[in-house]
Chain A
Amino acid sequence: MKIKVETKNLNVWYGENHSLKNFSIKIPEKKITAIIGPSGCGKSTFIKTLNRMVELTPGVKISGKVLVDGKDIYSPDVDVTEIRWKMGMVFQKPNPFPKSIFENVAYGPKVHRLVDREKLDHVVEVNLKKAALWEEVKDRLKMSAFELSGGQQQRLCIARALAVNPEVILMDEPCSALDPIATTKIEDLLFDLKKNYTIIIVTHNLQQAARVSDFTAFMYMGELIEYGKTDEIFERPRNKQTQDYIMGRFG
């Protein structure tokens, strides 16, 4: 199993607040890794270190390494923009641009001049298909993205992330604002996407983590407490804190 993303002794401070403590993890390629843990344990901070979005927070201090394909993404010669293409992100609340469905997907390739203008139609179609949205929107691509349902908007955001050819997709609670049907669609989509992408998903929904992920990491107070195969974590966790958390006995 090839390791796609690795962190070594990663620390993050927001001012005095030590949010991520000596965090070391190896995330395999083309698998789904779920990050679970109680609110404030550092899940979102962790995921934001992986595309350097964490640097956008004023007063943040980072130490340690984040290696993607073995290369440290915090080294001075790395282009942040390139990292953020490579490490696409999908957020909790669907956040389409106030533009048409077409423009939402075409935006990234267009501004970054990834493809010729005449090929944009094709790029939009391919990525809407990858995000399992094409059939639902192919006749109304000029319509505003805001007219879509929440679940469709979230898949549009996934299509938008895919359009700039990422290798890793970071998802921060991507289904928490969606109903069960829309959630199922996203989960089915994740299974298709992992054939080509490495997926890291932060979720509060333990059943979702159990359903979709291959590996699960349990975090508590900024530390990685237990990390392993999902079936082992949910059936026979080794650590008492993990067990208490997933059995719903604290939190």
Chain B
Amino acid sequence: MKGQKVTVRKKLSEELEDLKSLMMEMSALATASVEKAVKSLARQDVNLANKVIKEDDKIDELELEIENKCMHLIALQQPMAKDLRVIGSCLKIITDLERIGDRAADIAQITKKLAGRPLIKPLVDIPRMAELAISMIKDSVKAFKEENSLLAWGLGERDDEVDKLAQQVNRELLSFVVEDPKKTSDAFLLMFVASFLERIADHATNIAERVIYMERGERVKIN
């Protein structure tokens, strides 16, 4: 500003950078856990599934650490305007990331339940859903990192696509059940997987909506 000395609030700026790094760490873990969970299912890899379940604890720990940091920043730095929106958004985003981690662990549990016998059908739509959901998490996190609300807006369409695929998977699996009731249990487990992936895409959409709020101060629904 003209005639005024520019200050940066060094301490607050540094702390916000630290907060962002922690957010990146947590989102990387959450993204990886979904990738691994889906891989464990496709390959029926119980070891990998166990790893996903174990790594969920680390995500939970990071959630607490970030929450503490946010509370500390609010109490000690009294952030305003965009700084405040960034911190408020982080507090919301970590809940979505933590739940993404939980759903990945849920998928890993299903891998374990389905282990040791062939899948009732080759996975076609579920990997497609997983691919979309993972791309959504990655883009929502990228939008957060780059403060890019335009990128965040782009998630809405993919979320609709994931919802449609989930319905398709459910219809298909139900037809398997009708044909052969012995497949009911496995069919339901795969339906759960579809519903978990659908939830994961919703969480990514929530993150994207938070990024838009953080950037523009507007609360929007993008799907």
Contacts and interface: CB of A to CB of B under 8 A. Distances in A.
A248 B80 contact: yes
A246 B85 contact: no
Given A235-B85, A236-B81, A243-B81, A248 B12 contact: yes
Contact of A249 (B3, B8, B78): B8
A221 B4 CA distance: 10
B1 A244 contact: yes
User: DSSP majority for the B interface?
Assistant: loop
A241 interface: yes
A244 to B, nearest CB: 6
Contacts of A38: 4
B67 to A, nearest CB: 20
B117 interface: no
A250 B2 CA distance: 10
Contact of A248 (B7, B85, B216): B7
Interface residues of A, number: 21
A215 interface: no
Nearest to A236: B217
A237 interface: yes
A251 B4 contact: yes
A245 B5 CA distance: 11
A207 B78 contact: yes
A234 B78 contact: no
Contacts of A243: 81-82
23 contacts: A206-B78, A220-B1, A221-B3, A234-B81, A235-B81, A235-B85, A236-B81, A236-B85, A237-B81, A243-B81, A243-B82, A244-B1, A245-B1, A246-B80, A247-B80, A247-B81, A248-B7, A249-B6, A249-B7, A249-B8, A250-B1, A250-B4, A251-B5
Interface of B: 1-9, 12, 78-85, 216-218
